[in-house]
A and B are shown apart, each in its own frame.
Chain A
C-alpha cells in the first residue's frame, strides 16, 4: 500500500466513524428515566434503612450514571437537523461547564472547609462520579433549554 492509498483508507475510516449513527432509539429514554428512578430510590432507601451498604451505594451510583447516559444518548421523537445542532451546542456547553466545575469546585470546597473546620481542610480533587453526573445533568439542562427556546 503506497502513501496515497494509506491516507485514503484512513480518511474513509474516519468518515465511517464520523457518519456512525451513535444515538439510541427514542424508547431508550424511558428506560433511562426508569433506571434513574430505581437508582435514586435505592440510594435514598439505603441511606435511611441500611446501616452499611457500600456495595449497594456503588451499584446505585453506577446505575444513575448509566441511566443519565441512556437519556443523553437517546434520539428525540423527531431527530431533525435543528435538534442535531442543538445537541452539539449542548454538548459543547456541558463540556466547558464540566471543566470549569472540575477546576473551581475543589477550591470552593477547600475555602469553605477552611472557614467552617480549618483543622480538617484538605485540598483534593472531585470524585469521578460527581464530574460525570454534573456534565450529563448540565448537558440535559442545556439541551432542554435550547429545545424550549429554539
Chain B
C-alpha cells in the first residue's frame, strides 16, 4: 500500500517524532509506515487523517498487488 505520509508531514512541517506524539505511537512505527513495512490499522489511519485534515483515501492508496 502506497502512502503520502512523508509528503503530508513536509506540508505541515512536522517531524516523525511530532506526528508520533500526536497520534500516540512510537517514532519507529511512523518510520515503518512511511517505508511501507507496516500497514496501519483503520484506527491509526483515521488518526492520521485527522492530523493531516484529509480523507484516508488521499493518504493511502492501494497497489495492484494488494
Assembled-state Cα–Cα distance A76/B20 (Å): 15
Question: Which of A44-52, A80-88, A93-101, A131-139 interfaces with chain B?
Answer: A80-88
A81 in contact with B37 (CB, 8 Å) = no
Q: Which residues of chain A have C-beta atoms less than 8 A from B44's C-beta?
A: 81
**A55 sits at the interface (CB 8 A):** no
Q: Which residues of chain B have C-beta atoms less than 8 A from A81's C-beta?
A: 25, 29, 40-41, 43-44
Beta-carbon contacts under 8 Å, B17-66 to A: 20, 24-26, 28-29, 32, 37-38, 40-41, 43-44
Q: Which residues of chain A have C-beta atoms less than 8 A from B28's C-beta?
A: 82, 147, 150
Assembled-state Cα–Cα distance A77/B41 (Å): 20
Q: Which residues of chain A have C-beta atoms less than 8 A from B32's C-beta?
A: 82, 150
B38 in contact with A80 (CB, 8 Å) = no
Assembled-state Cα–Cα distance A80/B19 (Å): 14
Beta-carbon contacts under 8 Å, A113-150 to B: 147, 150
B24 in contact with A150 (CB, 8 Å) = no
- Known contacts A81-B25, A83-B29; 17 additional CB pairs below 8 A are A77-B26, A78-B20, A80-B25, A81-B40, A81-B41, A81-B43, A81-B44, A82-B25, A82-B26, A82-B28, A82-B32, A82-B38, A85-B38, A150-B28, A150-B29, A150-B32, A150-B38
